[in-house]
Amino acid sequence: MTKTEITLSEAQTQVDQWIKTVGVRYFNELTNMTILMEEVGELARIMSRTYGEQSFKESDKGKDLGDEMADVLWVLICLANQTGVDLTEAMKKNFEKKNIRDINRHRENDKLK
């Protein structure tokens, strides 16, 4: 049976290995930041056409929402690797922050009731 789940740490390692072999090397951080914005734009385009009021253009048809999200995650992982961010630790700290800061925030938000 093959393993189908992947941890953030495994994703960081696998992206790093791919970049250093197939990809040759990382683009510099500024280039990757720009690529990240491009990928987020592509994701936004599909979201606005799928869930918003915009209609699909011929060039939008056949785009996969999950694939667009994975593209965003891929480049974000590249940036984490380049800047020495351990995404597992960063997510743990982020959950801790949110659990303290937002413990009652959303329950007390009348807009969400």
Look up residue 80 and give its two tokens.
Answer: 């984490």
Q: How many domains does the chain have?
A: 1
pLDDT at position 60 is 83
Look up residue 20 and give its two tokens.
Answer: 């250093």
- Report the CATH number at residue 50: 1.10.287.1080
Domain assignment present for 56: yes
CB-based burial label for 8 (10 Å; 0-12, 13-18, 19+): middle
pLDDT at position 62 is 86
Judge contact between 36 and 72, C-beta under 8 A: yes
Alpha-carbon distance 69 to 22, whole Å?
21
Domain assignment present for 76: yes
Domain assignment present for 92: no
Domain assignment present for 101: no
pLDDT at position 48 is 94
Instruction: State if pTM tops 0.75.
Output: yes
Low-confidence residues of the chain: pLDDT under 50: none
Range of the domain at 22: 8-86
pLDDT at position 65 is 95
pLDDT at position 1 is 55
| pLDDT tens, residue by residue, 62-85 | 899 999 999 999 999 999 999 999
pLDDT at position 22 is 97
